[in-house]
Amino acid sequence: MILLEYDAKAVMAEHGIRVPRGIIARSPADLPSELAPPLMVKAQVPVGGRGKAGGVVRARSAPALAEAITGMTDTTIKGHRVRECLVEEVATGHECFIGFVLDEASGSVDVLLSANGGIDVEIGAHRHMMSERADFDPSACRDAAMRLAGRAPEPMRAAFSDIVPRLAAIFFSLDAVLLEINPLFVQPDGSWIAGDAKLCIDDNAFPRQPSLAARIRNRADAYPEAAGKLASGFDFAVLDPEGDVGLVTTGAGLTMQLVDELTARGCRPFNFCDIRTGEFRGDPARLIRVFKAMAAAPSIKTVLINFFAGITHLGEVARLIAAALQAVPGLTMPITARLIGNGYDEAIAVLGAMPAPLTVEPDLERALDRIIASIGRDRA
């Protein structure tokens, strides 16, 4: 998951990285009197390119500051709603770039440094970007970064040599998959401050990261999906707020395959879901949470349940589905349950007795045909 810039900087500051002083604001009334213009106003959305999209503004006066905050909140940048802004002191200097990126295919880390950073860092990157692939080891990454730092001109060399060992340590201590500082502002004397920060962490590592987990819980309104996973133990992410097909599925890979299949057939999947049926343990709470999300989404026209049972018994799953549907009476759209595996006959008996608009279909192709037909009837 991607931390918003405010949280990424706060976490890095806790680990000794110098960042501008700033606060989160949802309206001009949130600003303390001691934080006065000129100030930077930055939309908090988990995507890059905010500057080019108008999501980063330098406010030189109090009226301009209020206008920037008011104008940004409740707008949309690259499909993400802006609900809060980071308002911080202005930092200046020569703009540089530092990055640590996990290469999942090789299990190694790409270390990248450039004496030229900023919003146009990708332009001419093949000429000025220095990179080295290092083993997945803190010492190896630190040493690779220091070798690259030694190739930079002064005063960037001094700044890099000071910050990159700290960033390498942070990358591993936080179970990060990406850590970027862009821009790193460097002064003529080699001093530096992180003007922007991007930190992507492995949310499966939350049990090893109690402080990060606590931050997500405390900022649940900014991270609803990650906070939901912490609370309920499974993955649910909205892919398209205007999507027409709700997915109640298990298995990350299989769910991604279904998303691709549905998209190829002209559908718009509302969500990603890995509900992990093996962890139901006789409790319909996970299903209830997902069904409530479906019932609250007015764009959803139909729901596809897709469970393949190995050790899990479909009879038990069917009883939990029935209980969850009874607990969420607002879920009235057609539901197709593609069930296959252990306990199928028992599941058919349980779900067949339900009054809800639910049809069980063991064949995936026919189940997808039913989904498409349901959407067509609703659209007609």
For residue 303, how many other CB atoms are within 10 A of its CB?
A: 24
**DSSP letter string, 324-367:** HHHH-TT--S-EEEEEEETTHHHHHHHHHT--SSEEE-S-HHHH
Q: Is 332 exposed, middle or buried (0-12, 13-18, 19+ CB in 10 A)?
A: exposed
H helix or E strand, kind and range, residue 214: helix 210-218
Listed in sequence order, the residues at least 6 apart from 165 whose beta carbon sits closer than 8 Å to its beta carbon are 142, 145, 146
SS3 309: strand
Q: Looking at residue 90, what is its pLDDT?
A: 97
What's the predicted TM-score (pTM) here? 0.81
Q: Return d(Cα 163, Cα 256) in angstroms, integer.
A: 38
**Interhelix angle 285-295/224-232, nearest 10 degrees:** 150
Q: Return d(Cα 314, Cα 310) in angstroms, integer.
A: 9
pLDDT tens digits, the chain, 380 residues: what are they? Answer: 899 999 999 999 999 999 999 999 999 999 998 889 999 999 999 988 888 888 999 999 999 999 999 999 979 998 888 999 999 999 999 999 999 999 999 999 999 999 999 888 877 677 889 999 999 999 999 999 999 999 999 999 999 999 999 999 999 999 999 999 999 999 999 999 999 999 999 988 999 999 999 999 999 999 988 998 898 889 999 999 899 999 999 988 999 999 999 999 999 999 999 999 888 888 999 999 999 999 999 999 999 999 987 778 899 999 999 999 999 999 999 999 999 988 999 999 999 888 767 999 999 999 999 999 988 844 43
DSSP 275: -
Q: Annotate 71-97 with b (16+ C-beta within 10 A) or e (fewer).
A: ebbeeebeeeebbbbbbbeebebbbbb
- Residue 240 near residue 269, CB atoms below 8 Å: yes
What domains sit in the chain, N to C, each tagged with a CATH number?
A: 21-89 (3.30.1490.20), 94-201 (3.30.470.20), 233-379 (3.40.50.261)
- Residue 111 near residue 144, CB atoms below 8 Å: yes
Q: Looking at residue 377, what is its pLDDT?
A: 47
CA distances from 267 to 50, 203, 303, 331, 361 (A): 29, 29, 12, 19, 19
- State how beta strands 85-89 and 2-3 pair: unpaired
